[in-house]
Structure 1
């Protein structure tokens, strides 16, 4: 968090090294951001959680801390749970479908298969169906491999209760998660085919790359036009895309990128990011399309975000 590290370094000479609390926080910052983002699906809220984490961490007696990483994760988790309950109330009044805030990610995120899976649009939407504590416990155990004792401290439960929550959340997620691992070649081929179909407007090309049960979700946040509810089926989705792109094709540019560790397209109008369209690919076909148009969610598409486990 740039603001945090800058605040922590105020009034220090140019050659002085950071104090131990600042050094520990900076060392684990990307991990803490990833924990908060996976719980919240919002980069802006994850940054706020990191600010709260720093304020609490700065007042801790480090001599009393056995494991700085675990302690920081515990603070972050507790703050994220507070924010997650607030977000739940906010989403109840959200206009149209709510999608996670897309992050432009570096190639190394995609190379870490487990991390890429955990931050994908598809998985974040699955995590949305978990209760807040279930979501926290699942993320800390399945993604970050924290011990049951560490998770118990973070969520104020007993280790036995955490084991039960993990079992329940794992079964819930397994029933809804993407079908399997897709090879990089399949991913590249599907994205390239989809980009050609978008740029040419050829209906058959779209139909060839869309799975019969493909689901299209759009998030305009009540600010930009977007489909108000999920659109299902290759014929319907292909027609929707063909008509939409026909209207703007002359003004738009399309760029393939990595969003949340997965293939995506960025659509620009007059040089400005208008839509981020993330893809879910299964068996070489697109099974999910997630179009984020809400401009309040597009600020993290200007630079890569570092995610870490």
Structure 2
């Protein structure tokens, strides 16, 4: 069974679906739907098994995208992607780590379904245009135009994340020390002046409904967390980059940060308990 193409490419299929959906739960459902279709197909007619499976998972993810788009319109507060616990190995593929980061997935949310599918397949997985065209039911020329629009859209919004891994870890360590000790001055030093803290509670737990902007407000807010009884924090790898896990009064927060010029420019704090089920076991992400 280990040689079954679906089993061989399962991690790739999950990564494609997760990149398109920003939700591990939805991605798993899409992968399962792909398996059901694979189980019923005449394998003799499949020339390129990997391409076939990617095509199927893409179509299923597109169907799911249209459904979740309506759900997200009714979402309480800010919507952030579902974080994944990863191993440091993911960071060794710098391009993959950047593309699965919470920051990038948040940018991908601003694309339409077809643009997102084309961008993910072309820019992240280097899928040929004719294969993307077949998956989307469009001409290769149309797909090239969509790819160009999507690339420009993302380039205008993507954070600059090509930071040395050691520098990223050093900044996160300074951030953790300052938060743990409630050191407002230390936080002011590690946060960029125009830092943005975005929290996602989904209406299920307390969370800021709008982003907190500016080092002063962000530092005061973060320093107050350490004063809550039972507070503890730990270093984790989230979506291929160093992050922080907060546990406060029985509630968990997964915090992903963006670092530029030695300071944190954005903190993504996911608090919705329905999005925190992937923090115990590392996800296998693959291109």
TM-score bin (small chain) = over 0.9
Q: Secondary structure at the match of 2:157?
A: coil
Structure 1 stretches (4+) deviating beyond 6 angstroms?
none
What are the Cα deviations for residues 169-210 of structure 1, in whole angstroms up to 9, with x where unaligned?
Answer: 001101111124100121111010000011100100000000
Distance in 1 (alpha carbons) for counterparts of 2:5 and 2:125: 18
Q: Does 1:304 align with 2:285?
A: no
Distance in 1 (alpha carbons) for counterparts of 2:125 and 2:2: 27
Q: What is the RMSD of the two structures over their aligned residues, measured on CA atoms? A: 1.2
1:255-270 matches, within 5 Å, as 255-269=234-248
Distance in 1 (alpha carbons) for counterparts of 2:152 and 2:145: 11
Counterpart pick for 1:96 among 77, 85, 88: 77
2:263 aligned partner? 285
Distance in 1 (alpha carbons) for counterparts of 2:259 and 2:251: 23
Distance in 2 (alpha carbons) for counterparts of 1:54 and 1:19: 14
1:34-183 matches, within 5 Å, as 34-183=15-164
What are the Cα deviations for residues 206-226 of structure 1, in whole angstroms up to 9, with x where unaligned?
Answer: 000001111111011111100
Residue correspondences, number: 287
Is the Cα–Cα contact under 8 Å of residues 225 and 231 in structure 2 kept in the other structure? no
1:274 aligned partner? 252
1:236-247 matches, within 5 Å, as 236-246=217-227
Q: Secondary structure at the match of 2:53?
A: helix
Counterpart pick for 1:233 among 214, 226, 241: 214
Distance in 2 (alpha carbons) for counterparts of 1:241 and 1:180: 23
- Following superposition, the deviation at residue 37 of structure 1 comes to 0.3
Is the Cα–Cα contact under 8 Å of residues 273 and 298 in structure 1 kept in the other structure? no
- Following superposition, the deviation at residue 19 of structure 1 comes to 8.5
Distance in 1 (alpha carbons) for counterparts of 2:128 and 2:179: 46
Counterpart pick for 1:205 among 157, 181, 186: 186
Distance in 1 (alpha carbons) for counterparts of 2:186 and 2:111: 36
Q: Secondary structure at the match of 1:212?
A: strand
- Following superposition, the deviation at residue 238 of structure 1 comes to 1.0
Distance in 2 (alpha carbons) for counterparts of 1:269 and 1:19: 42
Instruction: Tell me the TM-score normalised to structure 2 length.
Output: 0.97
Distance in 1 (alpha carbons) for counterparts of 2:140 and 2:209: 42
Q: Looking at CA atoms only, which structure, 1 or 2, has the larger radius of gyration?
A: 1
